Amino acid sequence: MWAEVVKLAASTVGRVGSIAIVVGISVVSGSMLLAAHSTDPQLLAKLGPVATGDWHGFLLGAAQITGAGGLGGFAVVLAWMFGREFGDGTITGLFALPVRRSSIALAKLVVYGAWAVAMSVLLGLVLILVGTIAGLGALSDDDWATLARQVALGVMSVAITLPVAWAATLSRSVLGGVSVAIALVIVAQVSVLAGLGGWMPLAAPALWAVSGGSEVTPTQLLLLVPFAGAAVLATALAWRRMQLDR
């Protein structure tokens, strides 16, 4: 795990991904907050509930952005963590280590999960800073609950993106994992339009955060557990059975 921490910390992808998730989402959310003070009725109509220009609207906009953009940012980093071993040719060295390849895969997932959780918490803190600078005042109890759902959304994005690790392993490339990441975002959006809502694990966290928890039940959120477990198991088995000539 220490080796995977060093890889991620020293990588350009890890640094850029961290900045894109924390700074990028904060800047876009702040821009929507500024737009909420516009007098253009068409612009305000497009903003929807975000147009309130208060903590609730600001955090709601951040949750909407995190639901798609955050998921994509997390998935790209995960695809790199697994796909780089094949692209850089370091996979042959991993075969020579006295460590089970499945253990290496699990270590990557643990490090990825810890990083993603840290970024989610940091994003929540930066959003508080942005809102305070914008003069939104003190957060109410409901605002703190909305912020907690925002952080939880980032954490649950870890479970949603886990199939990317399996895809990057099977395709033996970063692009394979990124392609699946794009597909996950599309499937999540389409499932909401199709009315699946909370019963689709890919869409449930974002829908839960945006609706304030009213449109997704705890049972539906718990579907993330078997979804994530299956992805972890598939990735570990793929690394365990991996052959250099395939």
Instruction: Give the residue from 153, 165, 70, 160 showing the smallest Cα distance to 109.
Output: 165
Distance, in Å, from the CA atom of 244 to the CA atom of 100, rounded to the nearest integer, reads 15
Distance, in Å, from the CA atom of 78 to the CA atom of 119, rounded to the nearest integer, reads 14
Distance, in Å, from the CA atom of 168 to the CA atom of 211, rounded to the nearest integer, reads 33
Long-range contacts of 140-149 (CB under 8 A, 24+ apart): 140/55, 142/56, 143/55, 143/56, 143/59, 145/212, 146/55, 146/56, 146/59, 146/60, 146/63, 146/212, 147/59, 149/63, 149/208, 149/209, 149/212, 149/213
Measured from the Cβ of residue 131, the count of other Cβ atoms closer than 10 Å reads 23
Which pLDDT does position 54 carry in this prediction?
78
Burial class for 37, CB neighbours closer than 10 Å (0-12, 13-18, 19+): exposed
User: Nearest 5°: CA angle at 105, between 103 and 110?
Assistant: 90
Q: Which two tokens stand for residue 54?
A: 């208060």
Using an 8 Å Cβ cutoff, are 133 and 43 in contact?
no
CA distances from 77 to 82, 111, 233, 234, 235 (A): 9, 11, 20, 19, 16
The amino acid occupying position 228 is A
CA distances from 241 to 232, 238, 246 (A): 14, 5, 10
CA distances from 46 to 35, 136, 171, 211 (A): 10, 21, 40, 18
Q: Which two tokens stand for residue 151?
A: 């952080």
Which pLDDT does position 143 carry in this prediction?
85
Cα 23 from chain centre: 14
Which pLDDT does position 235 carry in this prediction?
94
Distance, in Å, from the CA atom of 54 to the CA atom of 21, rounded to the nearest integer, reads 22
pLDDT in tens, the chain (246 residues): 899 999 999 999 999 999 999 999 888 888 877 776 666 666 556 666 666 667 888 888 888 888 878 888 899 999 999 998 888 888 888 888 888 989 999 999 999 999 999 999 999 999 999 888 888 888 888 889 889 998 999 889 888 999 999 999 998 888 888 899 888 888 887 877 777 777 888 888 888 888 877 778 888 889 999 999 999 999 999 998 888 765
Which pLDDT does position 36 carry in this prediction?
67
